[in-house]
Amino acid sequence: FYGEENWRGRHAWETYKRELEAKGEVLDWSKFIPPPVPDTRNFALTPIVASCYSRILDKNGHRIEPQNTNVVNRLEMQIYSNCREWPTNHDRHPNGWQHGVEIDLAGWQEYFRSPTLPNYNCPDTNEFPTSPQLQSPAADVLLALSKFDPAIEELRQASALLHSRFPLNYDEPLPQDILPPHLQSLKLCAGVLQLRAAAELQNGQNEKAFDDVKLALFLANSIHDEPVEISQMVRANIIGNAIQPIWEGLAGHKWTETQLEEMERELAGLNFLSDYDFVVRSQRAMDLQSIDHERRTHNAGVSFMFGDESYDFRTRMELFYYHSFPSGWFYQNNITLARAFQQSLRTDSEVEKRILPPQIAQRIGYVMGETDFHHRSSYYFYLPMLFPDFGKTARIFAFRQASIDMARTACALERYRLANGVYPETLGALAPRFIEKLPHDVINGQPLHYRRTDDRRFLLYSVGWNETDDGGVVVLIPFNEVPDVEKGDWVWQYPAK
């Protein structure tokens, strides 16, 4: 029985593997590992950046045991505190451009100037610098954030190194064990840069705001090559942080012609459609590597699948069943998993049209439904545990690319307005003078919807994840009043004058 199952599984996997590789698919995990970067040219190894991970990892990505408690993480720019009471109307995660709302600087001013709460083990001194007298919201916010100025300026100098490779241990036997301690710090830093840029725009410091937006985009690109899904999700989050001040500067006509041109060029270099394909393929290679490791060891899966808790009788039976697997069943699981990932990729037609449509989520849903149907089969053992929710990933990446494309188009519209005094009647007037080529809707490949409004502004939108033209209507989630990206349109609009 074992001999037959082992031969059948290996033969079936080798056959399917050759079919995929003949189509140009890469299944080897090592092919997704970023190439080395010389230390002297590596942004991630500069002292300010290394402080965010060198407590836990050395420069080769190996864990430090015990942790180096002497390291101070200078990128841990924490502005959310349990020691202060949040104003009731304050949005802690501002991405208000989606429904035409600027960052609430007055709310942040109130927060930074509020006294610390008792009985929370809070420091006796103020966490943030404040002025004796109330200033403008922008001035008070910038003063509070000035505690981070030295670190941000050192980070800006480090960004002169154009190459970046964080020292992750890609040699981990189970790639899921790769530790990325730098991601949280990059997110925190991007949040500070977003708030700083918004306050600088309100304070008339447009050049400083522009530099902070560029630094946020650089932080996002510093992890562009990391073949780990969470890294790409954080990257999408950081770019979202940068888009808010870009939008606010456009709404207030704060950016110059030169800044608009450079900003559009920076955004044009971002491609979350191909990044989505990269995430699917790298995750597939990672999971195949993990299954191969399980096949060779059999015992490593105990902690990988079930954790280190004490096992009940049922779990012990499952472990006994797992340990009795013929090696051929691991190969059959490779086939099942690889096919599911293949269904998650964009088709050749979708790649050619430059779209990331909701049909991908539907195909993934079908795969998971098939998994439920075959849940008793040993060939489907790993799929529920390893296969990510790429339907959600596809939606996030499609929305992020749509927001980038609308930001690029909005920069071109503003350049047109600077040259002609009004926005154009149609988007066709923008190319090629103000933008080389107009981006289209990433959902269906059709032109983005655009019309001028009565207040001498405009409405620009994608049909969104529901694939329906709702006339530029944004649907808000009840109670927390943030846009529902699964419903309504994805809209770029400015507050009414």
pLDDT of residue 496: 74
- Report the SS3 class of residue 459: strand
pLDDT mean over 342-354: 95
d(CA 487, CA 467): 9
pLDDT mean over 48-62: 94
pLDDT of residue 99: 87
pLDDT tens-digit profile of 118-128?
A: 766 776 667 89
Q: For 188-211, b where at least 16 C-beta lie within 10 A, e where not — what string?
A: bbbbbbbbbbbbbbbbebbebbbb
pLDDT mean over 255-283: 97
Lowest mean pLDDT among 121-125, 147-151, 219-223: 121-125
Planar angle of CA 351, 355, 360, nearest 5 degrees = 90
Task: Output the CA–CA distances (angstroms, integers) from residue 313 to 300, 310, 317, 382, in the order listed.
Answer: 20, 10, 6, 21
For residue 117, is pLDDT > 90?
Answer: no
Planar angle of CA 158, 68, 309, nearest 5 degrees = 115
Q: Tell me which amino acid residue 112 is.
A: F
- Report the SS3 class of residue 255: coil
pLDDT tens-digit profile of 155-210?
A: 999 999 989 999 999 998 889 889 999 999 999 999 999 999 999 999 999 999 99
Where do we find the tokens 């599984």?
A: 9
Pairing mode of beta strands 490-493, 449-452: unpaired
- Six token digits for residue 274: 């191909």
pLDDT of residue 377: 77
E strand or H helix that includes residue 445 = none
**Which is more confidently placed, 387 or 316?**
387
pLDDT mean over 229-242: 96
pLDDT mean over 81-98: 69
**Which is more confidently placed, 177 or 272?**
272
pLDDT mean over 249-266: 97
Packing angle of the helix pair 206-221, 229-251 (nearest 10 deg): 160
- The pTM assigned to this predicted structure is 0.92
d(CA 382, CA 367): 14
pLDDT of residue 94: 63
pLDDT of residue 300: 42
Q: Tell me which amino acid residue 472 is.
A: G
Coarse DSSP helix, strand, coil percentages of the chain, rounded to the nearest 5 percent: 55, 5, 40
pLDDT tens-digit profile of 424-450?
A: 999 999 999 999 999 999 999 999 999
